[in-house]
Structure formats: structure tokens, C-alpha cells
Amino acid sequence: MIVGVPKEIKNHEYRVGLTPASASEFVRNGHKVVVETRAGEGVGFTDEDYRAVGAEILSTPEEIFEQAEMIVKVKEPQLNECAMLKEHHVLYTYLHLAPDPAQTDALLKSGCTAIAYETVTNDAGGLPLLAPMSEVAGRMSIQAGAHALEKASGGRGLLLGGVPGVAPAKVVIIGGGVSGMNAAEMAVGLGADVSVFDRNPDVLRRLDSRFRGSVKTRYSTGHDLEEAVLGADLVIGAVLVAGAAAPKLVSRDMVSQMKDGAVLVDISIDQGGCFETSHPTTHADPTFIVDGIVHYCVANMPGAVARTSTFALNNATLPFGLALANKGWKQACKDDPHLKNGVNVSGGFVTYEAVARDLGKEYRPLDL
């Protein structure tokens, strides 16, 4: 198979779909890898690094899409990239289609088969290709939130962990999954007063055992969550419903009643966001203020720590990518139901039920 790696073009996105080490694995398995020139420069990989492992360097994205059968990316294709996709292409990347009708329509029009990292599953019911970026985003959310709390950023002028004799900031984390747990790790490490809300008692027990009382675990009811949000200095939205739009758990009315200069960090923004006042931002212009509340809603947070993120992502995506190349996508999905769960679009139809439901599209099971 010919595997293509275009340079990412989303705002301040420096990650790359394949590291040279990953590219070498495809070459060792008998495949041809074509990489757009300078695709890896954002994480310190040169064109020579790719040539050294047997990849070919091409000058333009058009050449990549024209030659390749499988396109390996990091972020969802931008509309000009969607226009280069054809029916024979397999697209392997993050998609986050539920809040993005324009991208969905473009992929449907192309006829390609689009496999979303974020809906591939495993035997434990987890999302193994989303997990590494959830870890990064969870940890980054506290860094971003701490910076946004500074007075110069529009925040309350608080040091997250306080100092002796001065109380620490109150951090509320909504969602105790991978990103929420990693956010809690960072917040506790900085000395903040941390509460985590979730509706899964097993998740709450796991958090309680892990943090041994240094985190307050709270069952998420509307009343208790509202009370906590109104008293918080920093709120982290870490809610995930696999493949579907995130529920809006913090209303505009709640935001208007929060402390002036408090901060909201919406990790769920890739899936539409879990705060009613959220809208996607970029690394170039990461925050905005609504009713005196600072919002940080960058849709590709891990892109800011591109080298760490690229290695972590490749560690997870490489085995599935090799299966797709070695077997072809149809056989690979027949052999692995977890990989099959990653197919969101194929042959002009939405094949992931939650995406079809949220966007009002016809759902066509992949087997059909």
C-alpha cells in the first residue's frame, strides 16, 4: 500500500501523522511511504530523517493525495484537504465529526473511508487512540488554566496552589476519565483544592483510591455541580461521550453567576464543548471573555507540545495503521471489531451511529 503523510495545516498544529520510526515500520512491512516536505519539522524531524528510513519526500499535498491510498494525519482534514480525497482513499486520523457538519458533508461527498482515532475501542471499553492525547490535554488544561488565572490574562490574579497562609484556588473538574484524571494529577501536584465530578461510581472509587483523599470525589447532580461551579476559580470540562457531541453541563446562566475572573477550560471542545458559552479557539488566540469569565477553548491543545504528543500518538496508532496497510481496511476491520468501530464514514454514508444521530444524517451500519 502507498501510505501518505501530508503536513498538518490547522492553526499552530505542529504534530505529524508518522514519525520516521513509524514510517520505517511501514517500509519494513513492504509498503511505500510518501511524506510531504517539512511535514515533521514542527517536532524536529527533517526530510533526511524520513529518507533515511526509506520514505519518499514529495513537494506538495496534492502529490501526497494523488499518490497515496491511505492518508495518515493527526487532525481532521480541512475543507481544502477533503476536496482532494477520493473514493479509493482510506483516511486515518482524528475526525470529531459530531459538531462539524461541514467536514462530514465533505467526507461524504468524497466517498472515502474515514477512520477516526477517537472511536477505535479496546477490550476494556476504552478508547486507546484517544487516550494519549487525553492525557496530554488533561495535563495541559491545568497549565493553561493557571496562566489564564493570572491578572494579565483577565483572570482573578490567583496562584493555583496559594502560598503558606493564603488559600489555594478551587479547581472543579467535570469528568473523571483519562483527561479528567490527568488534570487532577497536575492540579493536586500544584497544591490546588480539587474536586472531581462524575456519574460513574466506579470512576469515583478509582479516583478516591488513586488520590487517597487529596481529591474530593463528587457524584454529579445538577444541583451539586452548579454549586461547585459557582464557587470555583478554575473549571475544567473533561466530558466525553464517544463519537457524540458533548453535553452542555454548564449553562450560560451559571457562567454569569461565577466569580469575576474565574476560568473555564473546555477540553471537550473538539466534540462541541461542555460549556454553553464555549466556541473553538486557536493557539494564536486561545481565550475570550464572557460575563467576566475567561474561556480557554483551543481545539487542538496537544499541538502546543507537539513532540511529546506526536510520539505518544504514534505509539498508539501504529499497530492499527499497520493492520490497515497489511490487510486492507475491509479485512482489517473484519478481523478486529475495535478497529471497525473507528470507521465513521464510508462509501458516502455515515457508519457511526452517534455521529449520524447528532447531525441528522442517515445511519448506514458498516456491514451494509
Return the closest-CA partner of residue 159 out of 148, 146, 170, 171: 146
- For residue 281, give the DSSP letter: B
- For residue 275, give the DSSP letter: B
Cα distance between residue 114 and residue 195, in whole Å? 38
| DSSP codes, 125-181 | S--TTTHHHHHHHHHHHHHHHHHHTSGGGTS----TT-BTTBPPPEEEEE--SHHHH
CA angle 201, 298, 15 (to 5 degrees): 100
Pick the catalytic residue from 31, 89, 96, 295: 96
Question: Is residue 105 annotated as part of the catalytic site, yes or no?
Answer: no
User: Which residues are 194's β-sheet partners?
Assistant: 171
**Radius of gyration of the CA atoms of the chain, in A:** 21
Does residue 239 sit in helix, strand or coil? coil
Question: Is residue 270 annotated as part of the catalytic site, yes or no?
Answer: yes
Cβ contacts of 189 within 8 Å, gap of 6 or more: none
Pick the catalytic residue from 198, 233, 266, 270: 270
Query: What is the set of active-site residues?
Result: 96, 270
